[in-house]
């Protein structure tokens, strides 16, 4: 099945993680992707009535379907209908929450090319309406996760647009962001950071 972005570029899905890799990982690194960890975290928040946060579905337009059997249909080709905004949104203690999640294999910096201009503009709009907006960044090689407010990300983005560096150094993330220690349940407790930053505890 082929998916395409609005600009026509083919979408390539990351390879699924083998069950053996998951079995051989430690508690601090169970082989889960950032998305899986966040989905598990959000389910914990929902189960315990802490917050309601979900991953946004991406609308697609199906253009080619194969019917190998009368009882089954196989999508052969589809296109994303529109550029996505951010990955997650929801509500916590009456506050609108909106965030993007990204990961990199680099250890000393986080490339800004991982973000898109429409995502930055969306974050600016959320901030104008006083929503809580941020990004969750994971250095996969180091197995470190950081919470970075959208305000800071926008500053680094504008620096790049002004001719500055095309990445955020890890030192800058450590200085401006907040490291989230990986736990069990919840796995990535970003609500704890929100409580501390916005006095919501």
CATH number of the domain to which 178 belongs = 3.40.1350.10
Alpha-carbon gap, residue 126 to 96, rounded angstroms: 9
What is the rounded average pLDDT for all residues in the chain? 85
pLDDT bracket for residue 83 (50, 70, 90): low
Is there a domain that residue 16 lies in? no
In a domain, 174, yes or no: yes
Give the Cα separation of 168 and 101 in Å (integer): 15
Identify the weakest region by mean pLDDT among 74-88, 106-120, 122-136.
74-88
Query: How many domains is the chain partitioned into structurally?
Result: 1
Q: Is the pLDDT of residue 54 over 60?
A: yes
Query: Is 126 within a domain?
Result: yes
pLDDT in tens, 138-181: 999 999 999 999 999 999 999 999 999 999 999 999 999 999 99
Domain for residue 137, yes or no?
A: yes
Please give the structure tokens belonging to residue 36. Answer: 């899986």
Calculate helix-pair angle for 117-128, 150-161, nearest 10 degrees. 130
In a domain, 134, yes or no: yes
**Which tops the pLDDT comparison, 40 or 75?**
40
Q: Cα separation of 147 and 137, whole Å? A: 7
Asked if residue 17 is part of any domain, the answer here is: no
pLDDT at position 69: 74
Residue 25 has pLDDT above 50, yes or no: no
Q: What is the mean pLDDT of residues 54-72?
A: 76
Mean pLDDT score, 27-55: 87
Flag whether 3 is in a domain: no
Q: Which domain holds residue 137?
A: 33-57+83-198
Q: Does some domain include residue 89?
A: yes
Q: How far apart are the first and last CA of the chain?
A: 46
């Amino acid at each position: 099945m082929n998916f395409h972005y609005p600009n026509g570029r083919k979408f390539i899905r990351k390879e699924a993680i083998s069950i053996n890799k998951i079995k051989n990982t430690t508690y601090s690194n169970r082989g889960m992707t950032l998305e899986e960890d966040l989905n598990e975290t959000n389910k914990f928040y929902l189960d315990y009535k802490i917050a309601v946060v979900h991953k946004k579905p991406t609308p697609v337009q199906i253009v080619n379907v194969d019917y190998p059997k009368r009882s089954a249909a196989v999508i052969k080709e589809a296109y994303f209908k529109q550029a996505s905004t951010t990955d997650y949104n929801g509500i916590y203690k009456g506050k609108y929450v909106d965030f993007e999640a990204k990961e990199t294999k680099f250890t000393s910096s986080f490339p800004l090319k991982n973000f898109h201009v429409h995502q930055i503009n969306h974050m600016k709009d959320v901030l104008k309406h006083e929503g809580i907006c941020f990004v969750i960044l994971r250095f996969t090689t180091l197995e470190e996760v950081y919470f970075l407010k959208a305000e800071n990300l926008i500053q680094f983005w504008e620096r790049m647009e002004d001719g500055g560096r095309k990445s955020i150094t890890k030192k800058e993330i450590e200085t401006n962001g907040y490291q989230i220690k990986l736990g069990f349940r919840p796995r990535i407790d970003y609500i704890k950071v929100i409580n501390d930053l916005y006095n919501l505890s």
